[in-house]
Amino acid sequence: MRPLLTVLLLFSAGVSADEIIIKPHAVPGPCSVAQWKKDWPGCEWEDGVKEGHLSVVAREDGGKAFRVDYTPGQIGPEKGGVGWRFPIGKTAVAQLTYTVRFAADFDWVKGGKLPGLSGGPANVSGGRPADGTNGFSARLMWRKDGRGEAYVYHKNQKGDFGDSFAFPEDFRFPTDTPIRVRMRVEMNEPRRKNGKLYVWISAGEAQQERLVVSHTDIEWRSVDTFAIDSLYFETFHGGSDATWAPTRPCWTEFSGVKVVTSP
């Protein structure tokens, strides 16, 4: 079997970058923890895989995708979705891309999480705030009626839970349509508010990319002991209580998962 994690060294205009591509290699069907470990090597923990929420499906173009099934009446990654941190190496700049497709009858409810980037010794999420020394996280969320936002834990967040950087008012995630997500995070210099976060979305036949989040004054950290180090693959409904839970079975599919790091 070929290696399940492909790392390529790219050269463009004299600048090198590490590209990490993640693909499902199992035959279509439920994804066991053993198979998940092969497709996502190096992760220290997982939620939702052993509970049966992750599978591999065949796409119409002949490729494969990871499918996540959300459990009616449940929230969080363990009971209602999946979650893990995939190590990418310590870097000051990273760009994550992936394609997500929401089921035609997807139940948006009040919102839920989508993958992003993170770093630091702690998992700063779930009401565990960032303090400048313990880490950061930048994920996406869908919201009611398919609205979108970046959901960010950073040193100057307003409370215990992450800050919401809303997508434009007219934005809606479409269903049953491949949606390409591109997120770029740049670390700040310690004790300076010059960190960056950009998010672009493209969907539909035109596939025209749209900048939906742009922040250039973020203080991710106050020390230089951590940087970006993980693809934070989490997706679930929630939210902190059952009012966020889906009322019917629904799913998402993820493909084209790639992280590029560069100076």
Backbone angles phi, psi at 77, to 5 degrees: -70, -35
Q: How confident is the model at residue 16 (pLDDT cuts 50, 70, 90)?
A: very low
Does the pLDDT of residue 153 top 50, yes or no? yes
Surface-to-core class of residue 196, CB atoms within 10 Å of its CB (0-12 exposed, 13-18 middle, 19+ buried): middle
> Which DSSP helix (H) or strand (E) runs through 80?
helix 77-80
Surface-to-core class of residue 27, CB atoms within 10 Å of its CB (0-12 exposed, 13-18 middle, 19+ buried): exposed
CA angle 189, 96, 142 (to 5 degrees): 105
What per-residue confidence (pLDDT) applies to 260?
97
> How many whole angstroms separate alpha carbon 251 and alpha carbon 232?
19
Please write the tens of the pLDDT for every residue from 109-128: 999 999 999 999 999 999 99
Q: How confident is the model at residue 259 (pLDDT cuts 50, 70, 90)?
A: very high
> How many whole angstroms separate alpha carbon 178 and alpha carbon 191?
39
Q: How confident is the model at residue 61 (pLDDT cuts 50, 70, 90)?
A: confident
> How many whole angstroms separate alpha carbon 41 and alpha carbon 22?
10
The CATH class of 5-261 is: mainly beta
**For residue 239, is the peptide bond before it cis, meaning its omega torsion is within 30 degrees of 0?**
yes
- Listed by start position, the domains of the chain span 5-261
Does the pLDDT of residue 5 top 60, yes or no? no
Q: How many CA atoms lie within 13 A of 238 on its CB side?
A: 24
Mean residue pLDDT across the chain: 92
